[in-house]
């Protein structure tokens, strides 16, 4: 069976790898002319997703690209000294098996794992999907596929083509995320440091293998503004207006906006589709069920979803009428849990009062001083909260030809 996947970030390459292992003929189309180097932020990969990476034979590569963060430093208005949080103890509270890695690095690792068995078409995108499986591309000739899968992110073109007016079931969680590439000299190895204030946080970090540092901004706008995800100048103006004067260091990071080689900006928005499939088309990862960038563990969800979708297609002999509902049944509870967790995290990581800021820092410091075994036990009692991703049960699928 011929399968077309749109998107070569995280879910797309993982899905392509497993579909090819199951005997499908796989093509991936990616709008960018090459693998994206967006300057994106560090992401977290939790237990079950780490297990899938291990099955793919890339766990050592993943671990070798860990950011190496050891501590988090918070400066806040009115405090005599900065607050320090032990990152290793914090991550141990979140998961028994976890790595922080740059999104671009993880994408390249997954791509390399399966690229020899998969056809990749860069610099093109889907413009139409016919009922008979005929796919029209912006640049290449039309081709026919048995299945079409959108793995093209929060702003999925496949979702818009297939779901039309129904593609917009989403909820803005009230904040925006921006990542700016800045000189590496502005950050310290092993340290994520920054400034926290009411409704806004600015942090900076780097990693040994990076040539730059990443300044990360999360904020709620003071006034509503029209957000266009393609309007980079407008996004940079909004960012400057919101953070200018926060501190001399933050002002220095903002001066890089004019010449930064990479810039990321997006609304922290949650998709709330009730179904991700129509006919021969389905969605995976952020394209179908983004819980919210930076707050919902969407990368782990995308890896798990891609693995499950490939496995259910193998079990169903490639029949979408059987495989797609099975895939949605497996993923529904994790997706609903991720939505609830993301809404809670969006509130907690961006406090709306000085008291909330202090509570967030005190919680982090408490984790830092308690023995790891104690925080792990306490966190383990909350499988629907911070331990959600460790609690996801992933089915086992046998490799066989379709």
Spatial neighbors of 30 by CB under 8 A, at least 6 apart, are 6, 7, 8, 12, 36, 120, 121, 122, 123, 124, 125
**What's the rounded mean pLDDT across residues 267-281?**
94
pLDDT at 82: 93
* Range from 12-16, 47-51, 58-62, 229-233 carrying the lowest mean pLDDT: 229-233
| pLDDT over 50 (residue 294) | yes
pLDDT at 95: 81
Q: What is the pLDDT of residues 146-180, one digit of tens each?
A: 999 999 999 999 999 999 877 778 899 999 999 99
pLDDT at 88: 84
pLDDT at 295: 76
**What's the rounded mean pLDDT across residues 309-336?**
97
Per-residue confidence at 121, pLDDT binned at 50, 70, 90? very high
pLDDT at 90: 83
Quote the CA–CA distance of 71 and 215 in Å, as a whole number. Answer: 16
Strongest mean pLDDT among 104-118, 211-225, 332-346, 361-375? 104-118
Tell me, what DSSP letter sits at residue 353?
S
pLDDT at 378: 47
| pLDDT over 70 (residue 340) | yes
Per-residue confidence at 387, pLDDT binned at 50, 70, 90? confident
* Range from 196-200, 340-344, 376-380, 384-388 carrying the lowest mean pLDDT: 376-380
Beta-carbon count within 10 A of 115 CB: 18
Q: Mean of the per-residue pLDDT values for the chain?
A: 90
pLDDT at 372: 58
For residues 237 and 92, the model is more confident at 237
State what percent of residues in the chain have pLDDT above 70. 94
Both structure tokens of 117: 């068995």
Spatial neighbors of 170 by CB under 8 A, at least 6 apart, are 269, 270, 271, 272
| pLDDT over 50 (residue 381) | no
pLDDT at 39: 62
Report the predicted TM-score, pTM, of the whole model to 2 decimal places.
0.92
Report DSSP letters for 196-216, one per residue. EETTEEEEEE--TT-SEEEEE
Per-residue confidence at 365, pLDDT binned at 50, 70, 90? confident
Report DSSP letters for 23-65, one per residue. T-EEEEEESSSSS------EEEEEHHHHHHHHHTT-HHHHHHT
**Is domain 2-170+270-390 classified as CATH 3.10.20.600?**
no
């Amino acid at each position: 069976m011929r399968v077309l996947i749109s998107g070569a970030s995280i879910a797309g390459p993982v899905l392509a790898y497993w579909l090819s292992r199951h005997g499908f003929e796989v093509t991936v189309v990616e709008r960018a002319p090459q693998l994206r180097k967006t300057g994106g932020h560090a992401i977290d990969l939790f237990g079950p997703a780490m297990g899938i990476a291990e099955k793919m034979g890339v766990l050592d590569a993943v671990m070798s690209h860990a950011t190496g963060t050891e501590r988090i430093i918070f400066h806040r208005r009115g405090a005599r000294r900065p607050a320090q949080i032990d990152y290793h103890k914090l991550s141990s509270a979140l998961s028994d098996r976890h790595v922080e890695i740059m999104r671009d690095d993880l994408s390249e690792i997954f791509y390399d794992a399966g690229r020899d068995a998969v056809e990749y078409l860069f610099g093109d995108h889907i413009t139409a999907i016919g009922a008979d499986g005929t796919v029209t591309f912006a640049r290449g000739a039309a081709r026919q596929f048995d299945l079409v899968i959108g793995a093209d992110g929060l702003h999925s073109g496949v979702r818009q083509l297939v779901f039309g007016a129904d593609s917009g079931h989403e909820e803005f969680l009230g904040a925006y995320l921006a990542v700016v590439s800045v000189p590496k000299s502005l950050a310290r190895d092993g340290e994520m440091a920054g400034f926290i204030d009411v409704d806004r946080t600015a942090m900076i970090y780097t990693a040994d293998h990076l040539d730059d540092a990443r300044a990360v901004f999360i904020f709620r706008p003071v006034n509503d503004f029209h957000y266009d995800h393609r309007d980079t100048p407008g996004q940079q103006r909004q960012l400057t207006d919101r953070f200018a004067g926060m501190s001399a260091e933050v002002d220095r990071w903002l001066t890089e906006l004019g010449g930064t080689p990479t810039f990321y900006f997006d609304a922290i928005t949650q998709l709330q589709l009730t179904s991700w499939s129509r006919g021969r088309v389905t969605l995976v990862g952020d394209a179908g069920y983004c819980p919210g960038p930076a707050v919902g563990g969407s990368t782990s969800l995308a890896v798990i979803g891609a693995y499950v979708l490939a496995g259910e297609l193998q079990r169903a002999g490639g029949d979408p009428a059987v495989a797609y509902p099975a895939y949605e049944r497996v993923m529904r509870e994790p997706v609903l849990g991720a939505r609830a967790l993301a809404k809670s995290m969006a509130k907690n990581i961006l406090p709306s009062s000085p008291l909330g800021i202090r509570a967030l820092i005190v919680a982090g410091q408490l984790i830092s001083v308690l023995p790891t075994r104690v925080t792990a036990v306490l966190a383990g009692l909350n499988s629907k909260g911070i331990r959600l991703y460790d609690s996801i049960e992933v089915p086992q699928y046998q490799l066989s030809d379709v």
